A and B are shown apart, each in its own frame.
Chain A
Amino acid sequence: MARLETFYEVMRRQGITRRSFLKYCSLTAAALGLGPELVPDIVHAMETKPRTPVLWLHGLECTCCSESFIRSAHPLVKDVVLSMISLDYDDTLMASAGHQAEAILEEVMEEYKGNYILAVEGNPPLNEDGMFCIVGGRPFVEQLRMVARDAKAVISWGSCASFGCVQAARPNPTRATPVHEVITDKPIIKVPGCPPIAEVMTGVITYMLTFDRIPELDRQGRPKMFYSQRIHDKCYRRPHFDAGQFVEAFDDEAARKGHCLYKVGCKGPTTYNACSTIRWNEGTSFPIQAGHGCIGCSEDGFWDKGSWYARLTDIHAFGIEANADRIGATAALGVGGAIAAHAAISALKRARHKGDV
Chain B
Amino acid sequence: MSPAADAHRPPRFLKAVYVYEVPVRLWHWINALSITVLAVTGYFIASPPPGVPGEASANYLMGYIRFAHFAAGYVFAIGFIARLYWAFAGNHHARQLFRFPFWNLGWWRELWTEARWYLFLERKPRLYVGHNPLAQFAMFWCIAVGSVFMIVTGFALYSEGTGRGTWQDTLFGWVIPLFGQSQDVHTWHHLGMWMIILFVMVHVYAAVREDIMSRQSIISTMVSGVRTFKDAEAPADADPEPPPPRITLEDARVPAAERERAG
Contact = CB atoms under 8 A, between A and B. Distances in A.
Interface string A140-170: 0000000000000000000000000000000
Contacts of A353: 123
B191 A324 contact: yes
A324 B39 CA distance: 13
Residue from B50, B51, B123, B191 having most chain A Cβ neighbours under 10 A:
B51
A324 B201 contact: no
B59 A243 contact: yes
Contacts of B3: 356-357
B173 interface: yes
A242 B181 contact: no
22 contacts: A218-B164, A241-B62, A243-B55, A244-B65, A245-B56, A246-B48, A254-B51, A269-B182, A270-B186, A300-B180, A305-B184, A312-B46, A313-B184, A325-B194, A328-B194, A328-B198, A332-B198, A335-B198, A336-B201, A346-B120, A349-B120, A350-B212
A124 B110 CA distance: 56
A299 interface: yes
Contacts of A296: 183
Contact of A328 (B60, B160, B176, B193): B193
Contact of A243 (B61, B212, B231): B61
B212 to A, nearest CB: 8
B163 A229 contact: yes
B194 A327 contact: yes
B51 A248 contact: yes
B29 interface: no
A218 B176 CA distance: 12
Given A263-B48, A349-B120, A357-B124, A228 B184 contact: no
Contacts of B61: 243-244
Interface of A: 218-220, 224, 228-230, 233, 239-248, 254, 259, 262-263, 267, 269-272, 296, 299-302, 305, 311-313, 315, 323-325, 327-329, 331-332, 335-336, 339, 342-343, 345-346, 349-350, 353, 356-357
A243 B56 contact: yes
B118 interface: yes
Contacts, number: 141
Contacts of B59: 243-245
Contacts of B161: 233
A311 B47 contact: yes
Interface of B: 3, 46-52, 55-63, 65, 118, 120, 123-124, 160-161, 163-164, 173-174, 176-177, 180-184, 186-187, 190-191, 193-194, 197-198, 201-202, 205, 209, 212-213, 215, 230-231
Contact of A315 (B187, B198, B209): B187
Nearest to B63: A242
Contact of A331 (B163, B180, B194, B209): B194
Contacts of A241: 62
B176 to A, nearest CB: 8
Given A243-B52, A270-B186, A332-B197, A299 B60 contact: no
Closest CB pairs A-B (n = 8): A328-B194, A244-B61, A243-B59, A270-B182, A324-B190, A243-B56, A239-B56, A242-B63
A338 to B, nearest CB: 9
B173 to A, nearest CB: 7
B215 A301 contact: no
Residue from A229, A244, A313 having most chain B Cβ neighbours under 10 A:
A244
A325 B190 contact: yes
B223 to A, nearest CB: 23
Contacts of A299: 181-183
Given A296-B183, A301-B180, 15 more contacts: A243-B61, A244-B49, A245-B52, A246-B51, A267-B183, A271-B182, A305-B184, A313-B184, A313-B186, A324-B190, A328-B190, A332-B198, A335-B198, A335-B201, A357-B3
Contacts of A313: 183-184, 186-187
Contacts of B60: 242-244
Contacts of A300: 180-181
Contacts of B57: 239, 243
Nearest to B202: A335
B46 A311 contact: yes
Contacts of B231: 357
A259 B55 CA distance: 10
